[in-house]
Structure 1
């Protein structure tokens, strides 16, 4: 492999954050996509506020609070589905190419890890549901630091885990702000631009942009 260590963001990169709402699309109705997007946006917003204010709550708590806000902002969706959606979020679907890409990298001799805002129990459930645990050398959660990305200490967890330098790490994320933080830290970064979003943070550009994880091993 071109890089000895490949680090992956979890939510939106390996695991589909909108899969939980899609499982109940027929019951939730036409505003499901709106609910799901607000849920995700508020989940991230709450993590940044908690990191900047130094008032940590784990990511599962923020996920619950974000869903409650989404329900308040989309009153057409029945709150009776709250527990069902949270249960589904604890075992999100992975994107279809993920297992094969991870297997290719692992068989090529690379070390693989997740580095995520997710709490340990959330990540354990998602990894188990996707069946990718045997392909990973580590699953790293910010919970041990009690802060969130894009704090540089979070990215340092990966270099400490594998006793390597930042420029020996390829970091993959679907979140452009996460790519900016990892680039500033010194990782080789690959933006997995699944949604076809416009670029931002032009002074902190990724080394490459892919529509999904396919082709990563060739970079």
Structure 2
């Protein structure tokens, strides 16, 4: 086994499919759900970065709400308060990618403590993980709320090192988001990038230590 004494996962887009909200969006605006979901996610990310730069932190649930309001206005898709609230609730129960439950079980069987480090609020993380009934796999659920700023700021990545009581060099950080993988690598974590869609890694002066196409490959690589 490689020198890995714990694994830290990103949540959104890595373990859980953010576009599982496309189907609920489609119920309100038939045929526009995927488009709405894509813009919603894009603005959600942008707002975390912009608020971090502005020093104007709000929790992830507020960011998610604001991004949805923008998306509906921009796409000229009417969304009343009740519908907006209902769709935000859908973000609290997004679905894991199909391979995730089995992959987590394999990694847990290797006696490796598993953690989630997410920009999600404490409530968001717990709600998503509980809805999928995967909470028993994780020793730590760690929120950017504790740092009052969002990834990719170093102070967020530091939270996992502190809570897991392991040096960053011993914790493998796993993310499907290239910007997040770059931030974690800059902080000093060894990084595994999950590239399900065949994307190009961001040019931010960092490179992942390993690339996989799905989490089912992670346990094989660690054990090799």
Q: TM-score range by the shorter chain?
A: over 0.9
- Listed one character per residue, the Cα deviations across residues 134-174 of structure 1 (whole Å, up to 9, x for unaligned) are 11000000101100001111111111112111111111111
**In 2, Cα distance between equivalents of 1:67 and 1:194:** 25
Which of these residues, 145, 150, 173, is aligned with residue 143 of structure 1?
145
Alignment partner for residue 110 of structure 1, among 109, 112, 115?
Answer: 112
Tell me the TM-score normalised to structure 2 length: 0.93
CA contact under 8 A between 2:25 and 2:36: conserved in structure 1? no
Distance 1:169 1:63, change over 3 A: same
Could you say which residue in structure 1 is the equivalent of 2:200?
Answer: 198
CA distance in 2, matches of 1:202, 1:149: 14
Asked if residue 157 in structure 1 is aligned to residue 159 in structure 2, the reply is yes
1:21/1:85 contact within 8 Å kept:
no
Q: What CA deviation, in whole Å up to 9, does each residue of 1:30-82 have, x standing for no partner?
A: 2221111110010011101111111111110000000000001111x341432
C-alpha RMSD of the superposition? 1.4
How many residue pairs match? The answer is 218
Query: CA separation in 2, counterparts of 1:199 and 1:90?
Result: 28
Q: After TM superposition, where is structure 1 displaced by more than 4 Å over at least 4 residues in a row?
A: none
User: Which runs of 5 or more residues in structure 2 are unaligned?
Assistant: none
TM normalised by structure 1 equals 0.95
Between the aligned partners of 1:64 and 1:24, the Cα distance in structure 2 is 14
* 2:105–2:137 contact (8 Å) kept in structure 1: yes
Please, which runs of 5 or more residues in structure 1 have no aligned partner?
Answer: none
* Alpha-carbon distance in 2 for matches of 1:26, 1:122: 23
Instruction: Report the Cα distance in structure 2 between the residues aligned to 1:60 and 1:165, rounded to whole angstroms.
Output: 30
Correspondence list, 1:1-219, <5 A: 1-2=1-2, 3-75=4-76, 77-80=77-80, 81-201=83-203, 203-219=205-221
1:65 aligns to what SS in structure 2? helix
Q: Distance in 2 between matches of 1:160 and 1:52?
A: 24
